[in-house]
Structure 1
């Protein structure tokens, strides 16, 4: 398959994929509204497709989504772009029967464009044999060009003969120029105006700006006669009025005699040129008006009234009239004209010999170069339409806003793939695609397909409760009826309930931007002339964020207060070129923990933007949470033993003999302590874990020690209890004794004797005692 065909298929496939992936809807009340919303929007006309109370806007979506929702393919409305060839003459050379060659095919087409859809067609070009050439020789007749004039008188015929030998159909014309006849450009003394040449010069014509001498002709004798009558003239400063003269040659189409041909303008000079603004030196303030101003003597009548034209004016007029300039200049000024040539499409610069004797070869070489370099461009492109070209050239494929092929030989055919796209719905518009340097053009008539073509029947329908007609699957109600199925008649009693449906979150009716009719908001227009939209008129497309004082930066579309950026742009105001150069982190973007907006990472979960979401200053390693997974993956035990690979896929674990960093220490299900380190991987909750091979586990129990220790402990506890009890009793007795002593001290008063009290006396006798020892 040719490379060009592959490119076209890729472009078309890309457009198809784009159209299937996106349908940005704004205000959609009908099929027509849907089609106008965007290139990916299609409409389902199936009856009963919407649920009760559901907005009809759900009928508008991408084709794939409508099919997924249950809309049959035959019920999907999706107008596509197409093309009709109105004039399509075949390519042909000039012959005796058909003297006019055809180099461009087709010649007129009509394109019906679906807004947002790009349509590509072929434009063929073939350099014809015998294509006519018109050459106008414009010569500087200032005094320094005296020697060159004599050669031009003789060499002009040779130029004509050479061109006729190449094309078989050539004509030549002649004109001359010097400069404006006012100070400081020309000496305005009367005698100097009549003879601006040195006194020694016998043949000298009065000072002049531009004069047209000979219209385009193939009459060699007429050329020789008129040109031989020309004489040298003169001026004061070095720059000449070449741009002034070029403007008249280009704009005086009828007077010069330009035909349907390759148009060449040879400017021969040995000096630079005045340009716009230089006229102020002579008090000339009126800008050049870019029109033909030849008087009855074929001289430039506004030379001393209008300023010199600018380079931009000259370039534009040359392109409009398909005139290709050849600057035949001396070597000392060639750098100036080479810079000028860069600003003028399809122009060439040749260096003249001192006496211009090489002018024939110079012109022929320039003609061959210009004619073999084919440039296709659009002219008069209406607003809202874009055109791009893919050039199928011998040197390879090129894509740009112009179709360019170099070194195209006579008889060689090249193809330009032209892609036309309409950004919005337009009235019928026309523009041309032209070949620079040739007079042939392709006329392109553009229409936009912004209306649905449905097989509607002009009868009231049961679906609309016999109070309306079906239009592309939705009801168009009779006067006095509203609702999706024309079920609501104006003036019904339950008006309060219907009006409640027009209040969003108990707010104002239709957000104060519309009128409530039968439970539906009919939205007003915005200040900018567009309509509010949405279920409650809550949306408009005029209050999005601005950048550089432009809505969405001029790089996106405002949709309900948010910017939907065009391809290649991003940001809240579409202010940035889409790029992730500063967000790349190896094979991921922002380490998989954020998104790249305006070439800067916007991180999630507290990760830092300074290192492209590489670290989270406030985050802690999930040591405890990872314990069971570390146990099952490293040692094959624990609660996750049976489904370890499923539950712990976020951890990549290796077992190491030693660890340089011991960040985590957790107990496993056996009570052993696992030591491991964790390194975060790209994304969320993914870690590379290094686990120390040896776990720290508790030793088994010593029974004898435990039993002995237990008995000793019991004995010790019993002894301690006895001591404690003894101490308690001792302390209690001690407390009672002290209390007794205290009571005893309080009874000391009872020991005193009463002198009035006489104690009783008791005598006891032992009858057996005699008193003898």
Structure 2
């Protein structure tokens, strides 16, 4: 709640709204009483006709009460609308005997008229009536793990009613049950399993279902026993159950369940956790929970498989809206889960069930006693531009978003202080305040007071307004065609906006707020000392110059339009110093080394220089690179500044040296040679003494013969390498071809057949002389 209120205030500020302290009055340029009281809760308005002087702004009528009285306004002429409270219904607290309903809160309806920003506090009383009826709806998990618990609950009704009636005298009890959505992955959707989700050995089994309303609230314990006896256990797949689905229906189905004007209790009995908003997406359910009752003729929840589970926030909001207090009767294994849930739901309790729910009656009675004795007062549907805070019944905890009181016994009366504040002017707004868990509410109607109720004279031809207007809250409301403080100006052919524009300097405030614009001319007001403001827009006065030793302009000058004009021999913004520069002179005779101005015998340094005489600069650096061209022309007569070296480099005073003890700078000239020099700062800005080394370091010229010879040798070597590479490639190719030829020759096979056309020789002639010797 604190965050919500903070966010509302921030939004109002961003949107142009104002949040004021109680005694604040912003002295804005207001011209009417209505605008004045809207400026702050501490603003009052003087409606006395003679309160303002001729030409004085009407805005002086608006100020804090102390200032207005100090200026001489009679108390009878001060308009200061207070906060007002009227009790519309204010029945006294009562027990409600003889057939009458008990009255547990007082008052029942009030009407507040509030000044914006001004808080109003009133008392809110509460008293627990004896015999106030109780409605208890028992909502039970019927998944298979609760089988033993169901057997005990069947005999619960009569005993539970008996115990509650001992406390309240009147009690009713109802019953509902739940399991989970009948969709995968929550329930087995096999048709056989949907009809009998229990184990096979279980003969009595209810078909799978989400939520079912069984018995409306009744004071007949026997009916409860009979209806619960007819209930059978059911089952599902996963461990978490559809508890929040069932709670939402039990809360919203007011007529079906029969919730009455009573203390409403909802008991949730389970041994498992719960599904919440978003889990329905696992079964393809995308539509969020719509937060209203959806029961068919058989009192079954018909939207179980179409709407997602509700969120915890939805449940908490609906429980508070319907004044229902939940009691989570759970087993030990899930008790921590529901304790965390209880932290998010106001007026809820957690009790630990025994394994078979045999202790459920004691658990419910203890939880009811604890809930009913802890009173929490809060509001609902609070408008954005209204804030409400509370103090607890003992007055210890102030300005909280809830009023709390513990251990409130039956018949004990407690009082809370409630503070309501309207942040801005607004139309009538209504909201309710009441204790959580009880139906009785205080209706608060709030209207803001943003209009003045003045003793107006209805004469439209009033003498105070030059008979051209009427008096409204001490100021003139001029007839059409007239304007001015006393309606003394006739517009003629010019419109009012054009005339007023002539009185604005640089489109600023009219006459700088120091005069009245009358027919396009500023009529300046008097200053506090009785002198007049002056200037075309009343922008000047001779009283608001700087003081020294509590004297205007130190007594050594005259104030002219807000600035001191010093007499001869004095200087300073307040003419507080005698003219002297002794403390600013350096050894060289310059003032502040030429890097500042001497004011009041002290140096006021510029451009980052510091020290008593502006001698040091930690952020300044020697401009070596920038000075390269000047060094080249001053020291060596070359470079781009060679023709106009004197003019371009007048800020440098150069000398050449045979040898330098140190070299601050080293820069290349346009020929690539290195120049070495030092730079020492002179008085003033960007002036240096320079010492230049006579010799430059130039790179040696190229050896043409070596370059040419080396180039030719390189070309020849490259050519030879290329020839050898080509020769090698040819040799490798030929070698491959030769080897392939040899392999083919080895694989050859000649045919042995003879040509049938070939005939051998028939005659053989031997040479007789041939001996056979070669």
User: What range describes the TM-score normalised by the shorter chain of this pair?
Assistant: 0.5 to 0.7
| Residues 489 and 518, structure 2, Cα contact 8 Å, conserved in 1 | no
| Residues 288 and 306, structure 1, Cα contact 8 Å, conserved in 2 | yes
For 1:111-130, what aligned pairs fall within 5 Å after superposition? 111-130=112-131
Map of 1:453 onto structure 2: 453
Structure 2 unmatched ranges of 5 or more:
1-19, 523-535, 540-609, 614-774
| Residues 476 and 486, structure 2, Cα contact 8 Å, conserved in 1 | yes
Q: Could you tell me how far 1:161 is from its partner in structure 2?
A: 1.4
Q: Could you tell me how far 1:481 is from its partner in structure 2?
A: 1.1
Counterparts in 2 of 1:158 and 1:398: CA distance versus 1, 3 Å = farther
**Matches of 1:476 and 1:217, distance apart in 2:** 70
What is the number of residues matched between the two proteins?
506
Map of 1:406 onto structure 2: 406
Is it true that 1:237 corresponds to 2:243 in the alignment?
no
Q: Could you tell me how far 1:490 is from its partner in structure 2?
A: 1.6
For 1:531-542, what aligned pairs fall within 5 Å after superposition? none
Counterparts in 2 of 1:360 and 1:19: CA distance versus 1, 3 Å = closer
SS at match of 1:39: coil
Map of 2:311 onto structure 1: 310
For 1:71-90, what aligned pairs fall within 5 Å after superposition? 71-90=73-92
Q: Could you tell me how far 1:377 is from its partner in structure 2?
A: 0.4
**Matches of 1:208 and 1:496, distance apart in 2:** 75
Post-superposition Cα deviations, 1:428-459, rounded to whole Å, max 9, x if no partner, equal 11000021011110000001111111111211
| Residues 155 and 357, structure 1, Cα contact 8 Å, conserved in 2 | no
Is it true that 1:435 corresponds to 2:435 in the alignment?
yes
| Residues 21 and 117, structure 2, Cα contact 8 Å, conserved in 1 | no
**Matches of 2:115 and 2:225, distance apart in 1:** 59
**Matches of 1:404 and 1:494, distance apart in 2:** 62
Tell me the TM-score normalised to structure 2 length.
0.63
SS at match of 1:364: helix
For 1:427-576, what aligned pairs fall within 5 Å after superposition? 427-459=427-459, 460-491=461-492, 502-504=503-505, 518-519=519-520
Q: Could you tell me how far 1:493 is from its partner in structure 2?
A: 9.8
Is it true that 1:420 corresponds to 2:402 in the alignment?
no
For 1:42-61, what aligned pairs fall within 5 Å after superposition? 42-61=44-63
Map of 2:287 onto structure 1: 286
| Residues 266 and 327, structure 2, Cα contact 8 Å, conserved in 1 | yes
SS at match of 1:400: coil
SS at match of 2:431: strand
Map of 1:683 onto structure 2: none
**Matches of 1:235 and 1:397, distance apart in 2:** 48
**Matches of 1:498 and 1:203, distance apart in 2:** 95
Structure 1 unmatched ranges of 5 or more:
1-16, 522-534, 539-616, 621-773
Q: Could you tell me how far 1:501 is from its partner in structure 2?
A: 5.1
SS at match of 2:228: helix
Map of 1:771 onto structure 2: none
| Residues 178 and 241, structure 1, Cα contact 8 Å, conserved in 2 | yes
Post-superposition Cα deviations, 1:405-446, rounded to whole Å, max 9, x if no partner, equal 111111111100000001111101100002101111000000
Map of 1:199 onto structure 2: 200
| Residues 398 and 404, structure 1, Cα contact 8 Å, conserved in 2 | no
Q: Could you tell me how far 1:136 is from its partner in structure 2?
A: 0.3
Post-superposition Cα deviations, 1:170-201, rounded to whole Å, max 9, x if no partner, equal 11110000000011111111111111111111
Q: Could you tell me how far 1:328 is from its partner in structure 2?
A: 0.3
Map of 2:27 onto structure 1: 25
| Residues 146 and 232, structure 1, Cα contact 8 Å, conserved in 2 | yes
Post-superposition Cα deviations, 1:238-293, rounded to whole Å, max 9, x if no partner, equal 11000000000011111111111111000000011111111111111111111111
**Matches of 1:283 and 1:256, distance apart in 2:** 30
Post-superposition Cα deviations, 1:504-531, rounded to whole Å, max 9, x if no partner, equal 16989999xxxx883389xxxxxxxxxx
Map of 2:276 onto structure 1: 275
| Residues 248 and 292, structure 1, Cα contact 8 Å, conserved in 2 | yes
Map of 1:223 onto structure 2: 224
SS at match of 2:259: coil
Q: Could you tell me how far 1:164 is from its partner in structure 2?
A: 1.2
| Residues 117 and 422, structure 1, Cα contact 8 Å, conserved in 2 | yes
Counterparts in 2 of 1:495 and 1:310: CA distance versus 1, 3 Å = closer
Counterparts in 2 of 1:33 and 1:225: CA distance versus 1, 3 Å = same
Q: Could you tell me how far 1:314 is from its partner in structure 2?
A: 0.7
| Residues 32 and 450, structure 1, Cα contact 8 Å, conserved in 2 | yes
Map of 1:63 onto structure 2: 65
Post-superposition Cα deviations, 1:38-68, rounded to whole Å, max 9, x if no partner, equal 1011000011211222211110000100111
| Residues 341 and 348, structure 1, Cα contact 8 Å, conserved in 2 | yes
**Matches of 2:29 and 2:129, distance apart in 1:** 53
**Matches of 1:414 and 1:55, distance apart in 2:** 53
Counterparts in 2 of 1:275 and 1:90: CA distance versus 1, 3 Å = same
**Matches of 1:232 and 1:72, distance apart in 2:** 84
| Residues 457 and 470, structure 1, Cα contact 8 Å, conserved in 2 | yes
Map of 1:37 onto structure 2: 39
**Matches of 1:35 and 1:134, distance apart in 2:** 51
Map of 2:296 onto structure 1: 295
Q: Could you tell me how far 1:497 is from its partner in structure 2?
A: 12
**Matches of 1:74 and 1:268, distance apart in 2:** 69
Map of 1:376 onto structure 2: 377
Counterparts in 2 of 1:461 and 1:230: CA distance versus 1, 3 Å = same
**Matches of 1:316 and 1:285, distance apart in 2:** 22
Map of 2:180 onto structure 1: 179
Post-superposition Cα deviations, 1:623-674, rounded to whole Å, max 9, x if no partner, equal xxxxxxxxxxxxxxxxxxxxxxxxxxxxxxxxxxxxxxxxxxxxxxxxxxxx
Counterparts in 2 of 1:414 and 1:507: CA distance versus 1, 3 Å = closer
**Matches of 1:396 and 1:37, distance apart in 2:** 33
Counterparts in 2 of 1:68 and 1:196: CA distance versus 1, 3 Å = same
**Matches of 2:235 and 2:495, distance apart in 1:** 96
| Residues 142 and 178, structure 2, Cα contact 8 Å, conserved in 1 | yes
SS at match of 1:224: helix
**Matches of 2:611 and 2:322, distance apart in 1:** 71
Q: Could you tell me how far 1:140 is from its partner in structure 2?
A: 0.2
Counterparts in 2 of 1:507 and 1:283: CA distance versus 1, 3 Å = closer
Which of 484-493 and 304-313 deviates more?
Answer: 484-493
**Matches of 1:40 and 1:276, distance apart in 2:** 49
**Matches of 2:53 and 2:176, distance apart in 1:** 80
SS at match of 1:258: coil
Counterparts in 2 of 1:498 and 1:358: CA distance versus 1, 3 Å = closer
Q: Could you tell me how far 1:467 is from its partner in structure 2?
A: 1.0
For 1:320-399, what aligned pairs fall within 5 Å after superposition? 320-393=321-394, 396-399=396-399
For 1:743-758, what aligned pairs fall within 5 Å after superposition? none
**Matches of 1:364 and 1:495, distance apart in 2:** 77
**Matches of 1:237 and 1:109, distance apart in 2:** 52
Map of 1:92 onto structure 2: 94
**Matches of 2:207 and 2:495, distance apart in 1:** 97
**Matches of 2:255 and 2:39, distance apart in 1:** 49
Counterparts in 2 of 1:142 and 1:474: CA distance versus 1, 3 Å = same
**Matches of 2:158 and 2:521, distance apart in 1:** 83
SS at match of 1:121: strand
Counterparts in 2 of 1:136 and 1:27: CA distance versus 1, 3 Å = farther
Q: Could you tell me how far 1:503 is from its partner in structure 2?
A: 2.9
**Matches of 1:29 and 1:398, distance apart in 2:** 39
| Residues 22 and 119, structure 2, Cα contact 8 Å, conserved in 1 | no
**Matches of 1:331 and 1:481, distance apart in 2:** 84
